């Protein structure tokens, strides 16, 4: 009898926990990127998005700027899913934002 109460109590708490879960939804923040592989934040509110095809684009908090920060697509050969192309970037510790 005690075992039945334990099982019933466990099921009750399991059901309560399931009901209390919030619903989570996802919305795209940035669209129109070509194989993004890295995101770097210099600390001034902007995000620098590295694309494997050789471009680094800047997101200013509301949209992606039309002109890339760097366009090395002429020299960055890449293969989607491979380890070639522009894969990362880093800022100098004294980078002036």
Whether residue 15 is contained in a domain is answered as no
| Segments of the chain with pLDDT less than 50 | none
The structure's pTM equals: 0.69
Q: Does 2 reside within a domain?
A: no
In a domain, 35, yes or no: yes
Residue 19 lies in a domain: no
In a domain, 90, yes or no: no
- Distance, CA of 45 to CA of 41 (rounded, Å): 7
**39 belongs to a structural domain:** yes
The domain containing residue 32 runs over which residues?
27-71
- Asked, for residue 81, whether it belongs to a domain, the answer is no
Q: Which stretches within 20-95 are classed as H helix?
A: none
Total domains, the chain: 1
* List of E strands, the chain: 36-40, 47-51, 55-59, 70-71
């Amino acid at each position: 009898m005690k075992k039945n109460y334990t099982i019933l109590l466990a099921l009750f708490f399991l059901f309560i926990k399931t009901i209390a879960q919030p619903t989570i939804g996802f919305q795209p923040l940035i669209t129109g990127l070509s194989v993004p592989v890295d995101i770097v934040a210099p600390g001034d509110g902007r995000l620098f998005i590295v694309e494997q095809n050789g471009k680094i684009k800047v997101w200013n908090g509301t949209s992606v700027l039309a002109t890339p920060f760097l366009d090395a697509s002429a020299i960055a050969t890449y293969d989607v899913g491979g380890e070639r192309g522009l894969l990362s970037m880093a800022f100098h510790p004294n980078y002036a934002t």
